[in-house]
Structure 1
Amino acid sequence: MNSTTQLTTTEGKRISKRLVNHWKHKFEVSETETHSKIFMPTATVTLTPQEQYLDVLIENQQDDVARLEEVVIDHLNRMAQQEFTAEWQHS
Structure 2
Amino acid sequence: MLTTSAALNTNEAHRLIKRLCAHWSHKFTVETEDGLGRINFGDSRCLLTAKSEQLHIELDCPNEITAERMQQVVFDHLKRMAKTELTEPVWSTSNVECALGQ
Shorter-chain-normalised TM-score: which range? over 0.9
CA contact (8 A) 1:73 1:84 kept: no
For the residue of structure 1 that corresponds to 2:30, the secondary structure is strand
Q: TM-score, normalised by structure 2?
A: 0.83
Residues 51-90 of structure 1: matches in 2 within 5 Å?
51-64=52-65, 65-81=67-83, 82-90=85-93
Instruction: List structure 1 runs of 4+ shifted beyond 2 angstroms.
Output: 81-84
Q: Secondary structure at the match of 2:56?
A: strand
Deviation for aligned residue 1:51: 1.4
Could you tell me which residue of structure 1 aligns to residue 6 of structure 2? 5
Please state whether the residue corresponding to 1:15 is helix, strand or coil.
Answer: helix
52-61 or 62-71, which moves further after superposition? Answer: 62-71
Corresponding letter in the other structure for 1:63: E
Q: Decide whether the 8 Å contact of 1:5 with 1:89 is kept in 2.
A: yes
Larger displacement relative to structure 2 (2-11 or 30-39): 30-39
Task: Look at both structures and tell me which one has the larger radius of gyration over its CA atoms.
Answer: 2
Which one is further off, 10-19 or 78-87?
A: 78-87
AA paired with 1:47? L
Identity %: 31
Number of residue pairs aligned between Structure 1 and Structure 2: 91
Residue 83 (structure 1) shift: 3.4
Deviation at 1:32, TM superposition (A): 2.1
Aligned runs of 1:36-51 on 2, under 5 Å?
36-51=37-52
Are the counterparts in 2 of residues 42 and 62 from structure 1 also a CA contact under 8 Å? no
* Alignment deviations for residues 13-60 of structure 1 (CA, whole Å, 9 cap, x no partner): 001111001100110101123411000011110000111100000011
Root-mean-square deviation over aligned CA pairs: 1.2
Which has the larger displacement, 75-84 or 51-60?
Answer: 75-84
